[in-house]
């Protein structure tokens, strides 16, 4: 990759530097049930982003005094591995950015999870970025939503999202790292695709009202596609479980206990 890219270089002949059109997503792979210890888990590869999500619970609340008698608490944790970025080795653990993202991610899940079904409990949602390339928070929340479904936690919808940004005067869907860093603005959004509710909205840079509306429509359109991938990942996992059970009936259940 060239080191001295400029904003103007990111769009050439109506194409972006990785060959995508303005409203194209990067290739996305979603897998459900990738970790054994967790109640539910998922892995998402989104362009060069690589993200794991794991869900534990509902379980007893810790610390105890936080207990809510009417609903489950949600504890979201978003974190980036020290080797995840292209820049220097960073310190492991949360920083100001990741703490903020954890907070808004928690609010997303509080919206869709039927927390009133599990009073006096807590649901942990862990999201870890192993490799980052722009749009890690939307990739993480997309993964976490699959992990929650994989954990069997009832939800109103499978949430997912994408960011839209303005680069060299054009609105682009799903910004990568270069577009995010050099571009004028970046708007990550998370939706409940079934009713179009906006559950996460963060924005930096300047857009007109018209552009905000277009960004919303672009993102929601893309989310409907991402949601299909999420559903397929969950179906795929249960297909495997089904095969395993079928194998078990033939007395071939070694190693399961």
**What SS3 class is residue 39?**
coil
If binding is defined by CB under 8 A, does position 182 make contact with other proteins? Answer: no
SS3 108: helix
> 197 and 154 in contact (C-beta within 8 Å)?
no
Residue 257 binds other proteins (CB under 8 A): yes
Give whichever of 169 and 255 is closer to other proteins, judged by the CB atom: 255
Backbone dihedral region for residue 36 (phi beyond 0: left; psi -120 to 50: alpha; all else: beta): alpha
Of 60 and 243, the one with the shorter C-beta distance to other proteins is 60
Q: How far is the CB of 104 from other proteins (least distance, A)?
A: 18
- Residues in contact with other proteins, counted by CB under 8 A, come to a total of 37
Q: At what angle do helices 136-150 and 96-112 cross, to 10 degrees?
A: 40
* From 112-120, 130-138, 179-187, 198-206, span contacting other proteins (CB under 8 A): 130-138
Q: Which of 88, 96, 152, 249 binds other proteins (CB under 8 A)?
A: 88
Establish if 85 lies at the interface with other proteins (CB under 8 A): yes
CA distance 136 to 85: 11
Supply the minimum distance, in Å, between the C-beta of residue 3 and other proteins. 8
54 binds other proteins (CB under 8 A): yes
Helix, strand or coil for residue 156? coil
Pairing of strands 185-192, 160-167: antiparallel
Q: Is the CB of residue 157 less than 8 Å from the CB of residue 194?
A: yes
Note whether 77 binds other proteins by CB under 8 A: yes
Task: Assess 7 for contact with other proteins (CB under 8 A).
Answer: no
How many Cβ atoms sit within 10 Å of the Cβ of residue 229?
16
Least Å distance, CB 77 to other proteins, is 6
Residues that bind other proteins (CB under 8 A): 1, 35-38, 41, 48, 50, 52-54, 56, 59, 77, 79, 81-89, 92-94, 124, 126, 128, 130-133, 254-255, 257
């Amino acid at each position: 990759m060239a080191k001295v890219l400029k904003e103007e270089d990111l769009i050439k002949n109506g194409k972006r530097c990785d060959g995508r059109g303005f409203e194209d997503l990067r290739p996305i792979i979603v897998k459900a049930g990738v970790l054994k210890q967790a109640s539910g888990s998922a892995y998402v590869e989104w362009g060069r982003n690589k993200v794991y999500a794991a869900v534990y619970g509902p379980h007893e609340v810790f610390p105890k005094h936080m207990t809510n008698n009417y609903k489950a608490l949600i504890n979201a944790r978003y974190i980036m591995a020290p080797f995840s970025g292209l820049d220097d080795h960073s310190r492991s653990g949360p920083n100001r950015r990741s703490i903020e993202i954890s907070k808004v991610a928690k609010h997303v899940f509080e919206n869709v999870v039927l927390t009133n079904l599990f009073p006096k409990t807590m649901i942990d949602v862990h999201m870890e970025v192993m490799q980052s390339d722009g749009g890690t928070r939307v990739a993480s929340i997309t993964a976490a939503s699959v992990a929650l479904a994989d954990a069997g936690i009832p939800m109103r919808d499978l949430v997912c999202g994408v960011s839209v940004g303005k680069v060299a005067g054009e609105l682009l869907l799903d910004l990568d790292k270069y577009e995010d860093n050099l571009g004028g603005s970046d708007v990550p959004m998370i939706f409940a695709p079934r009713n179009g509710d906006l559950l996460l909205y963060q924005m930096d840079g300047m857009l007109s009202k018209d552009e905000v509306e277009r960004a919303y429509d672009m993102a929601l359109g893309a989310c409907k596609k991402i949601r299909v991938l999420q559903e397929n990942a969950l179906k795929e996992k249960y297909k495997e479980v089904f095969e395993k059970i079928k194998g078990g009936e033939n007395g071939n259940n070694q190693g399961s206990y």
